[in-house]
Amino acid sequence: MTFLKLTLAVLGLLYLAAVAGMFVMQRQFQYFPSRNNPPPAAVGLADVTAESIATPDGEILVLWYAPAAGQPTILYFQGNGGDIADRADRFAAYRAQGFGVAFLSYRGYGGSTGRPTEAGLLTDARAAYDWLTARGTAPGMIALVGESLGTGVAVQLAAERRVGAVVLEAPYAAAVDIAAGIYPWLPVRLLMKDQFRSIDHIAAVTAPILILHGTDDRVIPYASGRALYDAVTAPTIFVSLDGEGHEALYQPTTWAQEITFLQGLFPH
């Protein structure tokens, strides 16, 4: 019995150590930024400027920007990995249709200062939005596009600021739900700092919404996107990408559906 108690005590201590370690290191398991920061021209984007935006809490962000030509401006929020330079082909696809395009490099990503947190990313999103409106972009001519983790940023920004449209690629009801599924042995719901609870904000979004989600997505389950859709009150189109996984976010055919949606809302 003594040996059993000792074994259980050791296992308990090991578990508590693992929980403590995951709590301390959690943001390293949530955000995977690249510090790559080339000029837009180096990745084939001509006539695109790399702007610097100051946030209220003292960070300096990089924003790749090309102005609109009588079309809305797409303010894009990437997923949790890489940097905006990885998405140069997406930028070019939007730009080829005459949209204004603004790709935000979150704090800690690319050439932006700071470290990523949920509150920080939302501060960054507000700063980018305010930068656009200060330069004459009407709020109703801003279309938010969120990819994966960035859908949570887009939803919360659209819930508090006026925009003309919202596009969500593989969204989640709450990022904490995804983490709880990955780490069922951890008390994730008690310990996770950046929970990105889109489900708590989506009903406040009034702009038209397009949701695209692969039915075979193993990163953000299709059911999570459907759960978010079920909570929407704004006019919304849900597109099931049959047989597609998370990689559908990086395919031109997916972006083409977004472009068609936006062109229908904003005739040239």
Q: Which of 11, 150, 5 is nearest to 75 (CA)?
A: 150
Q: 70 in a domain, yes or no?
A: yes
Burial class of residue 216 in the structure, from the number of CB atoms within 10 Å of its CB (0-12 exposed, 13-18 middle, 19+ buried): middle
pLDDT score for 268:
66
Question: What is d(CA 164, CA 145) in angstroms, rounded to the nearest whole number?
Answer: 11
pLDDT score for 267:
75
* CATH code, 244: 3.40.50.1820
pLDDT digit string, tens, across residues 194-210: 999 999 999 999 999 99
pLDDT digit string, tens, across residues 116-144: 999 999 999 999 999 999 999 999 999 99
pLDDT, mean of residues 81-90: 97
Which residues span the domain enclosing 182? 42-265
Dihedral sign computed on CA atoms, order 171, 189, 108, 205:
positive
Instruction: Give the phi and the psi of residue 23 in degrees, each rounded to 5.
Output: -65, -45
pLDDT score for 132:
98
pLDDT exceeds cutoff 80 at 246:
yes
pLDDT band at 11 (very low <50, low <70, confident <90, very high): low
SS3 content of the chain, % helix, strand, coil (to 5): 45, 20, 35
Question: What is d(CA 151, CA 170) in angstroms, rounded to the nearest whole number?
Answer: 8
pLDDT exceeds cutoff 90 at 84:
yes
pLDDT, mean of residues 69-78: 94
The radius of gyration of the chain's CA atoms, rounded to the nearest angstrom, is 20
| Residue 207 neighbours by CB distance under 10 Å | 21
Question: What is d(CA 194, CA 211) in angstroms, rounded to the nearest whole number?
Answer: 22
pLDDT, mean of residues 211-240: 97
Q: 155 in a domain, yes or no?
A: yes
pLDDT band at 10 (very low <50, low <70, confident <90, very high): low
Q: Which of 131, 85, 86, 124 is nearest to 106 (CA)?
A: 124
Q: 215 in a domain, yes or no?
A: yes
Q: 19 in a domain, yes or no?
A: no
Q: 30 in a domain, yes or no?
A: no
Question: What is d(CA 206, CA 45) in angstroms, rounded to the nearest whole number?
Answer: 33
pLDDT, mean of residues 208-222: 97
Q: 130 in a domain, yes or no?
A: yes
Q: 3 in a domain, yes or no?
A: no
Q: 86 in a domain, yes or no?
A: yes
pLDDT score for 24:
78
Q: How many structural domains are present in the chain? A: 1
pLDDT score for 70:
84
